[in-house]
Structure 1
Amino acid sequence: MFAIVRTGGKQYRVAAGDKIVVEKLEGEAGASISLGDVLMAGDGSELKSVEGLLVSAEIVAQGRGEKIIVFKKRRRHNYRRRNGHRQYHTILKITAIGDHKDEGQSKQAKASPEAAPAAAEA
């Protein structure tokens, strides 16, 4: 099964067991996170519904990318500026695709209305 998720303004095609490098996400190495912005999911050539679909991932490492040199120059004006930048990123390992949001909460919400009138009557 595969899914297309959006994080950090970019889209990634992921499957269980894949490792991807994304924009920095909060969390320590070893922590589990869930990516809830699933755009598409499927199995082979067959597409599945993305209603409430989650992609579970584990943070492998936090790091920084390669250094990028930003060089500005205006000819004939003796203007030269040199700057460097290293972008922060997070390496994720996809653990599962297909967890659903609010499974536990919906069960509790269904149980709560039944329990509330009984408590009010007593």
Structure 2
Amino acid sequence: MFAVMKTGGKQYKVQSGDVLRVEKLAADAGEKIQFNEILMVGSTVGAPFVAGAGVQAEVIDQIKGEKLIHYVKRRRKHSSQRKKGHRQQLTLVRVTDILEKGADKSGIKAAIGAGSVSGAAIVAAAPKKAAPKKAAAPKKAEAKAEVAVESAGSRPANLLSEARGGKADDLKKISGVGPKLEGVLHENGVFHFDQVAAWNAEEIAYMDDKLSFKGRIERDNWIEQAAELAKDA
């Protein structure tokens, strides 16, 4: 007899004796576990789950999946690229029994521990494993904060409190700059073409953030346009 069960957001068709790699469960090697979210047992189809059905298994080991490479490259971002590796934490289990009925009275107590997946019941919970994940949360927050700081770039050194000689250049001559965006540039200390033409990559990132138009400066070639316009200013 076979069954279709769900765990870790995935579905598995299993028979007694099958060995599976499932999303990490909070169980140690040798422990008995039971999956209660059963979509189908033999010819019986659940709606969505089959009442009273279960799949019992034994934990073989806690393992890691194959290494996956995540690579991101941004065009027109001065060769901005990022490469990361990841190995998913998995639990290796062997199916021991498929219960069409009576799974609720099997004697295996439901417990939720760190890393456990909805729909699985285990003999003993593993609350100790929850501590590392809770402790890791601040580090993730700090990492996000560091990324946010890096993405803001650096403030241009040539920003002004007012236009030189009391007369600002017509920044609307730059393609992509309208009256509203020109006003925002003025608010941030940008009044002249030569200011825009002198920005480097870090300063472009800073102004992108201030203008709330990510990529607009490079996409519309503001630097090149401003350099040409500055010659005639």
- TM-score, normalised relative to structure 1: 0.77
SS at match of 1:66: coil
Gaps of 5+ in 2: 108-233
Higher-RCO chain (CA-CA 8 Å, sequence separation at least 6): 1
- The one-character-per-residue Cα deviations of 1:43-92 (angstroms, maximum 9, x if unpaired) are xxxx1363211110000110101111111101232201111111000111
What is the DSSP-based 3-state SS (H/G/I as helix, E as strand, rest coil) of the residue aligned with 2:20? Answer: strand
The aligned counterpart of 1:90 is 91
Match of 1:14 in 2: 14
Percent of aligned pairs with the same residue?
45
Amino acid of the structure 2 residue aligned with 1:11: Q
**Whose strand proportion is higher, 1 or 2?**
1
Q: Distance in 1 between matches of 2:55 and 2:16?
A: 9
Superposition deviation, residue 19 in structure 1: 0.5
Pairwise mapping of residues 65-84 of structure 1 onto structure 2 (< 5 A)?
65-77=65-77, 78-84=79-85
- For the residues of structure 2 that align with 1:37 and 1:90, how far apart are their CA atoms? 17
Which is higher, the Rg of structure 1 or of structure 2?
2
Q: How does 1:1-122 map to 2 (within 5 A)?
A: 1-42=1-42, 47-48=43-44, 50-77=50-77, 78-98=79-99, 100-103=102-105
- TM-score (normalizing by structure 2): 0.41
C-alpha distance in 2 between matches for 1:92 and 1:37: 16
- Secondary structure of the 2:90 match is strand
Q: CA RMSD in A?
A: 1.7
In the aligned structure 2, how far is the partner of 1:83 from the partner of 1:17? 36
